[in-house]
């Protein structure tokens, strides 16, 4: 366009985006937060407090209580009481009313939630505003709809809840993961003790306020902030009937060992190393958007991220060129700026992990490329990065980086694409880009992944079950299948 304009003798302008910051003032962050226990905020019995930071600036946001073993006891006892006396005994149509109320309050307070999520997590406001918060509300709406229809869901005439669920969630989608865990558990009549991640506790605590405001019976939802030790204490508690965990494969395995033989039901939503497969007949510009969304959405802190791009050899150069052009247009910076595409990395620890795996990629001989991009001086940042010349044995093709890093591999035939895509210990998701419907179905049958997206990527809906195979875990969240994980059916 600029060349055309010059040719026509028209003066061109280099467009700069003016800052478009969302207001921080829409949310009040307290200086200190307690635990949410039995319907009230309470001080921890024995644990201390920790500070949660804004990863974009390293500025402390608030001090948060750290739950110890006595607090876990209190929370599980409160959840048991609520299960036996109020929530568990309530007809589904009554439970539904509370869940609809939570959903509507989330919508009413959406801006507050979005700003708080971006401050505590580092993700761009346009993602927390357009994805995390609306999807969290959608999960409550969707499951509210199921609460009075469980007898018709195909689990027998009167499926029973499991009891008390212990739920441990990660930092990449703090509010959304809380909704994924709480909504189905509550709709099916269970009560919950939820532990958010240490680096991102604030939106779960705001959700606790919403739960209070919605008038859920005390003890139905308890929120215990803390670190891995609190999580370990919770999952080992003998008073639980069910554990639901999302996080690393390593911790998932530890939990499996810890509860073996206890009779607790378990669902694990773990890591991934998904293949995003682009055939030579794909609509390339659309595929480029899907690749960018697949790996750079949420700074790549996504368990189903399309972190391995498998591209058919005949179009590899063209696709790579278009991808690079597209990446030069991404804007990295202030998560609260509405124009920002790439926000901050959630923690120093995660940044160290991304840096060390990227260094391993270079050491093993892959070619590293990033668009010109100035990183802010304070905070935790990593530029969008693409590795080409990657072979299947490289660590960056095998290990979950959980950052904005794409590994590009090539293939010649559909069989080779399937073999390479499935050459991973994980099995959470995959993407296929082709104009042929028959090829999509052929691929979907062969890809060992819980979710296969066709000509799109990273699309989520509460009615669509999500979950993995192999080291990506087991059990499904969302849809009818997700209800089964909380029912004695
Ligand atoms: P973790 O698996 O350690 O954390 C997930 C949650 O589990 C957090 O709430 C954590 O607490 C808690 N936790 C930690 N240890 C235990 C334990 N022994 N028993 C019970 N709960 C526990 O993930 P990390 O945050 O350490 O991230 C490490 C790597 O894991 C990432 O680099 C990424 O590769 C992967 N990951 C994958 C996710 C996914 O969705 N698949 C999500 C997050 C991470 P706390 O954080 O407070 O210590």
247, 250, 270, best to mutate for ligand 1 pocket (most atoms within 8 Å of CB): 247
Which residue stretches of 244-398 are H helix? 249-259, 284-296, 316-327, 348-363, 395-398
Note the pLDDT of residue 5. Answer: 45
pLDDT per residue as tens, the chain (489 positions): 444 445 455 555 567 889 999 999 999 999 999 999 999 999 999 879 999 999 999 999 999 999 999 999 999 999 999 999 999 999 999 999 999 999 999 999 999 999 999 999 999 999 999 999 999 999 999 999 999 999 999 999 999 999 999 999 999 999 999 999 999 999 999 999 999 999 999 999 999 999 999 999 999 999 999 999 999 999 999 999 999 999 999 999 999 999 999 999 999 999 999 999 999 999 999 999 999 999 999 999 999 999 999 999 999 999 999 999 999 999 999 999 999 999 999 999 999 999 999 999 999 999 999 999 899 999 999 999 999 999 999 999 999 999 999 999 999 999 999 999 999 999 999 999 999 999 999 999 999 999 999 999 999 999 999 999 999 999 999 999 999 999 997
30 Cβ inside 6 Å of ligand 1: no
Which residues neighbour 227 within 8 Å (Cβ) at sequence distance 6 or greater? 50, 66, 198
Strand partners, 405: 385
What pLDDT sits at residue 13?
59
Instruction: Return the H-helix or E-strand segment holding 108.
Output: helix 92-108
Can you tell me the distance from the alpha carbon of 372 to that of 399, in angstroms, rounded to the nearest whole number?
26
Q: Is the CB of 171 under 6 A from ligand 1?
A: yes
Supply the pLDDT for residue 14.
66
Atom of ligand 1 minimally distant from the CA of 270? 41
- Ligand 1 near 350 CB (within 6 A): yes
Can you list the pairs that 24-28 forms with residues at least 24 positions away whose Cβ atoms lie under 8 Å?
24/115, 24/119, 24/336, 26/111, 26/112, 26/115, 27/112, 27/113, 27/115, 27/116, 27/119, 27/206
| Per-residue model confidence (pLDDT) at position 12 | 54
Predicted pLDDT at 395: 98
Q: Is 240 helix (H, G, I), strand (E, B) or coil?
A: coil
Out of 66, 269, 471, 477, the active site residue is: 269
Helix (H) or strand (E) holding 138: helix 133-147
269 is catalytic: yes
Taking CA atoms, 123 is separated from 64, 141, 147, 168, in Å, by: 21, 24, 32, 21
Whole-number pLDDT of residue 478: 96
| Cα dihedral 79, 267, 134, 42 sign | positive
Rounded to two decimals, what is the model's pTM? 0.95
**Does residue 237 have its Cβ closer than 6 Å to ligand 1?**
no
- 433 SS3 class: strand
Q: What does 19-32 look like in DSSP terms, one character per residue?
A: P-BPPGGGSPPPSE
DSSP state of 349: H
- Going from the Cα of 14 to the center of ligand 1, the distance in angstroms, rounded, reads 43
Helix (H) or strand (E) run with residue 6 in it: helix 2-7
- Atom number, ligand 1, closest to the C-alpha of residue 347: 25
- Take residue 204 and report the two structure tokens written for it: 């779960």
Distance 110 CA to ligand 1 centre (A): 26
Query: What is the reported pLDDT for 4?
Result: 44
Indicate whether residue 400 lines ligand 1 (CB < 6 A): yes
What pLDDT, on a 0 to 100 scale, did the predictor assign at position 16? 80
For the record, the structure tokens of 157 come out as 């005439």
CB-ligand 1 contact for 370 (6 Å cutoff): no
């Amino acid at each position: 366009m600029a060349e055309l304009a010059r040719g026509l003798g028209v003066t061109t302008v280099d467009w700069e985006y003016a800052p478009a910051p969302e207001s921080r003032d829409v949310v009040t962050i307290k200086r200190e937060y307690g635990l949410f226990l039995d319907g009230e905020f309470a001080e921890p019995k024995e644990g201390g407090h920790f500070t949660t930071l804004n990863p974009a600036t390293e500025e402390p946001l608030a001090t948060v209580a750290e739950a110890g073993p006595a607090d876990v006891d209190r929370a599980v006892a409160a959840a048991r009481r609520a299960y036996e006396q109020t929530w568990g005994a309530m007809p589904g149509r009554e439970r539904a009313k509370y869940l609809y109320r939570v959903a509507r309050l989330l919508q009413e307070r959406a801006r507050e939630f979005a700003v708080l999520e971006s401050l505590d997590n580092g993700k761009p406001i346009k993602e927390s505003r357009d994805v995390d918060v609306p999807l969290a509300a959608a999960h409550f709406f969707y499951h509210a709809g199921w609460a009075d229809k469980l007898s018709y869901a195909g689990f027998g005439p009167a499926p029973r809840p499991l009891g008390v669920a212990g739920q441990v969630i990660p930092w990449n989608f703090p509010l959304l993961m809380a909704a994924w865990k709480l909504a189905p558990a509550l709709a099916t009549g269970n009560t919950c003790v939820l532990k958010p991640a240490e680096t991102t506790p604030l939106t779960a605590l705001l959700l606790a306020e919403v739960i209070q405001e919605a008038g859920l019976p005390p003890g139905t939802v308890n929120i215990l902030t803390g670190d891995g030790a609190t999580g370990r204490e919770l999952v080992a508690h003998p008073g639980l009937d069910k554990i639901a965990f999302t996080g690393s494969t390593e911790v998932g395995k530890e939990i499996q060992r810890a509860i073996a033989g206890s009779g607790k039901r378990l669902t694990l939503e773990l890591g991934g190393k998904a293949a995003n497969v682009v055939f030579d007949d794909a609509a390339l510009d659309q595929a480029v958007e899907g690749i960018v969304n697949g790996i750079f959405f949420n700074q790549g802190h996504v368990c189903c991220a399309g972190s391995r791009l498998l591209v058919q050899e005949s179009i590899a150069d063209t696709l790579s060129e278009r991808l690079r052009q597209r990446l030069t247009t991404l804007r990295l910076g202030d998560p609260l700026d509405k124009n920002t595409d790439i926000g901050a990395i959630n923690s120093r620890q995660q940044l160290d992990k991304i840096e060390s795996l990227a260094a391993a990629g270079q050491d093993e001989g892959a070619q590293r490329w990033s668009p010109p991009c100035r990183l802010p001086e304070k905070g935790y940042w990593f530029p969008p990065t693409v590795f080409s010349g990657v072979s299947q044995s490289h660590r960056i093709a095998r290990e979950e980086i959980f950052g904005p890093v794409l590994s590009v591999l090539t293939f010649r035939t559909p069989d080779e694409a399937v073999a390479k895509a499935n050459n991973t210990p994980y099995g959470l998701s995959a993407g296929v880009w082709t104009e042929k419907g028959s090829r999509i179905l052929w691929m979907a049958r062969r890809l060992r992944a819980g979710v296969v997206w066709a000509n799109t990527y990273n699309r989520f809906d509460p009615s669509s079950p999500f979950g993995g195979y192999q080291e990506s875990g087991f059990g499904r969240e969302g849809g009818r299948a997700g209800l089964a994980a909380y029912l004695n059916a």
